[in-house]
Amino acid sequence: MGLGANGRLLAELLAEALPAIRYRPPEGTYLAWLDCRDLVLEGEASAAFLEHGRVALYAGTSFGAEGAGFVRLNIATHPDLLADIVARMARAVIS
């Protein structure tokens, strides 16, 4: 599976498990921006996903103040791993 296919897969997985995350597949890169501002999380999104879902993501604020509420995910990985990542992220969201 290539990057384009992984981007589409991620979009499908997020729509199913985490519809509050806004995402547009990236063009020509393997790093996806995930807008988590509509989620109910404890603290910074990347910290919540790490603590409660055991998923390490780049904090959006690492790329500037405008990245608050966003995380970056490397989609250059196996599709099964993408599915596991999204499932773990979903477990980190406060119901």
Rg (the chain; Cα; Å)? 12
Instruction: Give residue 17's pLDDT.
Output: 96
Q: Provide the CATH number for the domain around residue 51.
A: 3.90.1150.10
Element (H, E) at 62: none
Instruction: Give residue 24's pLDDT.
Output: 85
Instruction: Give residue 95's pLDDT.
Output: 55
DSSP 3-state of 19: coil
Instruction: Give residue 25's pLDDT.
Output: 82
Instruction: Give residue 90's pLDDT.
Output: 94
Q: How many domains does the chain contain in total?
A: 1
Q: Encode the chain (95 residues) as per-residue pLDDT tens digits.
A: 688 899 999 999 999 999 999 998 887 789 999 999 999 887 889 999 999 999 999 999 998 998 899 999 999 999 999 999 999 999 988 65
Residues 6 or more apart whose Cβ sits within 8 Å of residue 84 = none
